[in-house]
């Protein structure tokens, strides 16, 4: 109890860091990106507008490509705060805060020291993976929260199997299923069962109110599925439709190391402390060793699961809390007894950091500055249609484009140079906690620099700027058409607040729902486009210069940015900002 009271001292600095990184500038910039980010926001906007809280819709079409729970949370935020970018991101910002506080409490309980709890929360707060996907409307951060909460209740039940912990475990598993389908519910169950197997403690299940767990889970997870089934009898209603695995396996595992850098070195050190006897079913494990066992199983099961089923760079978020807490256990131990490994890591970070800082300065100062109004796409070597994952866009960068990133590059260079230098000096003097605080401060500025760079790069993977540019020109009854899939320019629907048509055969997330008898005619062919173009109404076509279809009459470029453009059958009337 005393250690938990001591842990509360760490809450205020962690809360301040959360406000800086998660609840301020990052809520409003960059605009929502095309694809899952704006798809989730648009589904929530249509839900809040229509009042149909059972069936998600995209562009007026029933679509279960978005999971229900994130859609409900964002729709509720829209109802309270209005339809804005920051209102869409607000639920994830609070989910991140809850995750950090859970890590603080869980690590403190597992390691029997509040210092480990502080480091566990600090590592997650400054994790590039958590920071990035807390601002993109993907379900994985919420799923990470529910899995962490479920295992928090499981850990507490091992001390005292109370009714409260049973209800908490069942409820968080149900919330996980409403966030990411079967993975959100099954992963904590698998981890808990494996832990009980290795500790030979299956008797715990009988004491832990199993009937209550099943009833609470069913009561929370099934009603929406039953209602969705009856509201959509001929439509699949399972949430979180899995997308094919695309990331190469070794690269996928590398993301686990990248998302926690530079804390990865300490997490690996914590992992290396595992002994073979930890998995010996006949061994007696004290509280700390049981904590290490649960963290190891949590990490291993999550990595194996997503390596098989959903291999994307963001899929590993649920593995970050155990990996972070493993690093926190090592950092807490190092404070009490400074180690040679910590000094070696400090030297490695110092050398690698200075190389990166010098490289960033050279790129920032040697690349020509293009000005503030330049289209970033003109400086890139674009590869349209070849971006299978988020970081594939980095292959579009050129030396000439580095001038557009001058400010974030210089912030990065200064933060890294100061951070790694202070970390080395302080660790050599035996001041580990202060050294770790400098590393956290370094990462805070690195994340700010990355966010500025993302905002600079955003026209390439967001149609928001095009939508905002033409919004004064678009009137009720005008046709807005996407040359491609709806997901390619899904930000148009969110920012224009009107139906979109797709110049394509039925494909993508809208295809299943478009076959319903009550679905609006969202897919059009080239003949239909030609009739609209020659008709009396105005047409806005989202396309790219390289793939613009043959049009029957005059076409006028209304807006152009990010390698894409909006063309129309009528010239600009003066409203569009282009």
pLDDT per residue as tens digits for the range 172-182 = 999 999 999 99
Among the residues of 429-500, which ranges form H helices?
432-461, 464-470, 491-496
Q: What percent of the chain has pLDDT over 70?
A: 92
The sign of the CA dihedral 552, 557, 560, 566 is negative
Q: Which of 259, 495, 559 is nearest to 390 (CA)?
A: 259
Using pLDDT thresholds of 50, 70 and 90, give the confidence band for residue 384. low
What is the DSSP code (8-state) at residue 463?
A: -
End-to-end CA distance of the chain: 62
What average pLDDT does the chain have? 89
Rounded-to-integer distance, Cα 191 and Cα 299, Å: 9
For the beta carbon of residue 315, count every other beta carbon within 10 angstroms: 26
**Is residue 245 pLDDT above 90, yes or no?**
no
Tokens found for residue 7: 């842990």
Q: Which of 482, 485, 497, 460 is nearest to 65 (CA)?
A: 485
**Is residue 289 pLDDT above 70, yes or no?**
yes
Mean pLDDT of 214-236: 89
Tokens 């897919």 -> residue: 523
Rounded-to-integer distance, Cα 223 and Cα 235, Å: 17
pLDDT of residue 6: 56
**Is residue 110 pLDDT above 80, yes or no?**
yes
Rounded-to-integer distance, Cα 2 and Cα 507, Å: 58
The string of DSSP codes covering 300-311 is HHHHHHHHHS--
Largest CA distance in the chain: 81
Rounded-to-integer distance, Cα 251 and Cα 232, Å: 39
Tokens found for residue 125: 């707060």
Rounded-to-integer distance, Cα 191 and Cα 151, Å: 8
Q: What 3-state DSSP class applies to 42?
A: helix
Beta-carbon contacts of 158 under 8 Å, excluding residues fewer than 6 positions away, are 201, 204, 290
Q: Backbone phi, then psi, for 577, in 5-degree steps? A: -90, 80
Going along 210-341, which residue ranges are E strands? none
Rounded-to-integer distance, Cα 561 and Cα 464, Å: 10
Beta-carbon contacts of 48 under 8 Å, excluding residues fewer than 6 positions away, are 75, 76, 78, 79, 83
pLDDT of residue 548: 87
Mean pLDDT of 452-465: 91
């Amino acid at each position: 109890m005393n250690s938990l009271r001591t842990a509360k001292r760490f809450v205020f600095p962690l809360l301040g860091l959360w406000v800086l990184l998660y609840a301020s500038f990052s809520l409003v910039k960059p605009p929502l990106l095309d694809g899952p980010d704006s798809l989730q926001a648009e589904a929530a906007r249509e839900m809040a507008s229509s009042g149909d809280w059972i069936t998600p819709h995209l562009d007026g079409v029933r679509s279960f490509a978005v999971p229900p729970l994130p859609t409900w949370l964002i729709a509720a935020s829209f109802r309270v705060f209005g339809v804005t970018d920051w209102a869409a991101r607000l639920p994830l910002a609070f989910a991140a805060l809850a995750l950090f506080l859970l890590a603080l409490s869980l690590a403190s309980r597992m390691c029997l020291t509040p210092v480990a709890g502080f480091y566990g929360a600090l590592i997650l707060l400054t994790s590039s993976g958590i920071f990035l996907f807390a601002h993109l409307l993907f379900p994985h951060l919420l799923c990470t929260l529910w899995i962490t909460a479920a295992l928090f209740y499981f850990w507490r039940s091992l001390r005292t199997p109370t009714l409260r912990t049973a209800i908490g475990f069942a409820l968080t598993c149900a919330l996980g299923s409403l966030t990411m389908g079967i993975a959100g519910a099954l992963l904590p169950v698998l981890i808990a069962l494996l832990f009980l197997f290795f500790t030979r403690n299956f008797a715990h299940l009988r004491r832990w109110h199993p009937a209550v767990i099943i009833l609470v889970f069913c009561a929370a997870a099934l009603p929406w599925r039953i209602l969705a089934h009856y509201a959509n009898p001929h439509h699949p209603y399972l949430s979180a439709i899995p997308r094919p695995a695309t990331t190469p396996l070794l690269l996928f595992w590398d993301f686990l190391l990248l998302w926690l850098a530079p804390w990865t070195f300490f997490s690996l050190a914590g992992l290396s402390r595992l002994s073979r006897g930890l998995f010996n079913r006949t061994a007696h494990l004290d509280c700390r060793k049981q904590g290490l066992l649960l963290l190891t199983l949590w990490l291993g099961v999550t990595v194996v699961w997503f390596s098989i089923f959903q291999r994307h760079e963001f899929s590993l978020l649920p593995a970050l809390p155990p990996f972070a807490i493993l690093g926190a256990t090592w950092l807490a131990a190092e404070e009490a007894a400074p180690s040679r490994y910590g000094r070696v890591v400090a030297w490695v970070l110092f050398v690698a950091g200075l190389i990166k800082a010098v490289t960033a300065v050279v790129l920032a100062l040697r690349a020509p500055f293009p000005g503030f109004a330049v289209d970033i796409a003109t400086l890139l070597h674009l590869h349209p249609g070849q971006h299978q994952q988020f970081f594939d866009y980095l292959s579009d960068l050129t030396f000439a484009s580095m001038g557009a990133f001058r400010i974030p590059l210089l912030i990065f260079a200064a933060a890294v140079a100061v951070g790694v230098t202070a970390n080395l000096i302080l660790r050599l003097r035996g001041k580990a906690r202060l050294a770790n605080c400098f590393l956290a401060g370094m990462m805070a500025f690195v994340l700010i620099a990355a966010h500025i760079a993302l905002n600079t790069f955003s026209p390439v993977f967001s149609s928001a700027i095009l939508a905002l540019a033409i919004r004064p020109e678009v009137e009720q009854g005008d046709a807005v058409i996407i040359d491609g899939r709806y997901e390619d320019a899904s930000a148009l629907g969110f920012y224009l607040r009107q139906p979109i048509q797709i110049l394509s055969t039925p494909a993508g997330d809208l295809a299943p729902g478009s076959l319903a008898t009550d679905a609006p005619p969202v897919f059009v062919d080239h003949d239909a486009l030609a009739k609209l173009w020659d008709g009396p109404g105005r047409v806005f076509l989202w396309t790219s210069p390289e793939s613009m279809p043959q049009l029957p009459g005059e076409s006028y470029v209304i807006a152009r940015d990010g390698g894409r453009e909006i063309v129309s059958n009528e010239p600009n009337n003066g409203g569009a900002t282009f």
